[in-house]
Copies of this chain bind each other. A is one copy, B any other.
Amino acid sequence: MSVIMYVAFPHNGPFGEELKNELSGLAQSINGEPGFIWKIWTENQADKTAGGVYMFDTRENAEKYLTMHTERLTKFGYSGISGKVYETNEGLTAINRGPIK
């Protein structure tokens, strides 16, 4: 059963189109990660945070990605990275048209 993961961390910018231009290559590489299904990139300019909501096929693959991604972000100079993996409730999600597989 697919899982949802939230990741968030402090980020001073860039945001929006400028961030897209900077990270398009990284985004493309994420499509090749084991078990990756989709990612919604999230950003909050007022609070200076960034991150994403991910769907993975299994908790194991999500947690492996989180470990790798946390190390990568740390190398980029980020800190305060939070990540959390959840199972989904398929019956309730179906009622609310949630995009899960």
Contacts and interface: CB of A to CB of B under 8 A. Distances in A.
A23 interface: yes
Interface residues of A, number: 42
Given A44-B85, A53-B4, A99-B99, A39 B93 contact: yes
B30 A87 contact: no
Q: Tell me the number of copies of this protein.
A: 2
B89 A19 contact: yes
A31 B87 contact: no
Interface string A69-101: 000000000000000111111011101111110
A34 B98 CA distance: 17
A92 B4 contact: no
Interface in A40-69: 40-45, 49, 51, 53
14 contacts: A15-B89, A19-B92, A31-B95, A31-B97, A38-B97, A41-B88, A41-B93, A41-B96, A41-B98, A42-B89, A43-B88, A44-B86, A45-B87, A99-B99
